[in-house]
């Protein structure tokens, strides 16, 4: 059994709870969870990645679980979220690193590839669109607007918090249960989720990711060309995102690959862990491109 250690580190003005495993000398791979999870979303990924020689790090992103929860909506701007990840890499003495991100964690990964390409060796994304692509789809694709109705709802004050905290956080638990493999959601796991959600200010902090993003000015996707090698894994039974999000996002990449898993939901890393891990090991095993020191 792999030994996972925990520490709190200072990064970009906040303290983050971080889980890590694998050799300190290994290439740094940062795993980024999405809504409404925490570092434990990647629990089954530590052992195979660490066994392959990678230094695996999974933070509770700001606002989640045991990490700091700033109160201001602006503190959850995607630039700040990306800077947190850069701060984690700096803490471990690594200028360049790889990211695996699901949901919001994938969106943060896309943003690092957009704004800080010189820091990112490789990016693996699971069921998350590039933020500019998602924003444009909300304007041009009625089906995506229908699927993302909750994003507008989350802009309200207090009402979403009341709904998500009611009946022992039942609505959040139901979200987590929406996997193709319901056996992966155990009572013990839900207890851990509920403990994180019930922490003072936790639900508001989680919702503030959506609120800050709704206010964000984003570049047009037509003007973007991403040079970071990208692997996109997409569960086709995703109720929150249409397949066109994946197709358009990977189209922004100079070196991009997409894998569609037809029986997986939005929770693809839980539905198809063996296939996702195999794809990650194959992707990370390829030679990473070298960049000049000026980047």
Grouping H, G, I as helix, E, B as strand and the rest as coil, residue 75 is helix
Residues in the chain: 295
* Active-site pick, 60, 102, 210, 271: 210
**pLDDT exceeds cutoff 60 at 164:** yes
Among 234, 232, 227, 233, smallest CA distance to 114 is for 227
Average pLDDT of the residues in 55-83: 98
- Span 110-152, pLDDT tens digits: 999 999 999 999 999 999 999 999 999 999 999 999 999 999 9
**pLDDT exceeds cutoff 90 at 96:** yes
What pLDDT is recorded for position 295? 36
- Span 11-49, pLDDT tens digits: 999 999 999 999 999 999 999 999 999 999 999 999 999
| Beta carbons within 8 Å of 107's beta carbon, 6+ residues apart | 34, 78, 101, 128, 129, 130, 131, 134, 213
Among 137, 88, 135, 138, smallest CA distance to 116 is for 88
Q: Active-site residue 103, yes or no?
A: yes
Average pLDDT of the residues in 98-118: 98
- The CATH fold assigned to 5-284 is Rossmann fold (3.40.50)
**pLDDT exceeds cutoff 70 at 183:** yes
Task: For the chain, give the mean pLDDT.
Answer: 96
What pLDDT is recorded for position 287? 67
What pLDDT is recorded for position 286? 77
- Span 45-68, pLDDT tens digits: 999 999 999 999 999 999 999 999
28-32 and 97-102 beta bridge pairing = parallel
Spatial distance between the Cα atoms of 107 and 112, rounded to a whole number of angstroms: 9
Grouping H, G, I as helix, E, B as strand and the rest as coil, residue 29 is strand
pLDDT confidence of 293, banded at 50, 70, 90?
A: very low
What pLDDT is recorded for position 157? 94
* Active-site pick, 33, 102, 130, 266: 266
Cα separation values, 108 from 81, 113, 156, Å: 7, 9, 23
- Span 207-257, pLDDT tens digits: 999 999 999 999 999 999 999 999 999 999 999 999 999 999 999 999 999
Q: Kindly give the residue spans of alpha helices, DSSP state H, lying in 154-272.
A: 159-176, 187-197, 202-214, 243-250, 268-271
* Active-site pick, 60, 68, 84, 103: 103
Q: Active-site residue 210, yes or no?
A: yes
Q: Cis peptide before 171, with omega less than 30 degrees from 0?
A: no
Contact 63, 206 (CB under 8 A): yes
What pLDDT is recorded for position 290? 54
């Amino acid at each position: 059994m792999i030994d996972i250690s925990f520490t709190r580190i200072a990064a970009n003005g906040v303290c983050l709870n971080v889980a890590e495993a694998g050799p300190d000398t290994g290439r740094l791979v940062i795993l980024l969870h999405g809504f409404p999870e925490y570092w434990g979303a990647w629990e089954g990924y530590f052992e195979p990645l660490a066994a392959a020689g990678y230094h695996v790090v999974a933070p509770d992103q700001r606002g989640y679980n045991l990490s700091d929860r700033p109160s201001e909506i602006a503190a959850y701007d995607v630039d700040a979220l990306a800077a947190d990840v850069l701060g984690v890499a700096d803490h471990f003495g690594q200028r360049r690193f790889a990211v695996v991100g699901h949901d919001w964690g994938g969106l943060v990964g896309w943003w690092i590839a957009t704004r800080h390409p010189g820091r990112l060796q490789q990016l693996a994304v699971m069921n998350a669109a590039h933020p500019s692509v998602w924003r444009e789809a909300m304007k041009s694709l009625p089906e995506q607007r229908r699927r993302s109705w909750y994003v507008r709802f989350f802009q309200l004050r207090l009402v979403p918090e009341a709904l998500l905290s009611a009946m022992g956080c039942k609505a959040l638990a139901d979200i987590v249960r929406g996997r193709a493999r319901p056996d992966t959601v155990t009572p013990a796991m839900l207890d851990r989720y509920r403990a994180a959600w019930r922490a003072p200010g936790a639900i508001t902090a989680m919702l503030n990711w959506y609120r800050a993003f709704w206010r964000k000015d984003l570049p047009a996707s037509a003007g973007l060309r991403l040079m970071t090698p990208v692997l996109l894994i997409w569960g086709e039974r995703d109720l929150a995102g249409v397949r066109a999000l994946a197709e358009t996002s990977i189209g922004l990449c100079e070196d991009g690959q997409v894998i569609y898993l037809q029986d997986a939901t939005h929770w693809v890393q839980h539905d198809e862990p063996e296939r996702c891990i195999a794809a990650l090991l194959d992707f990370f095993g390829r030679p990473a491109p070298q960049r000049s020191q000026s980047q």
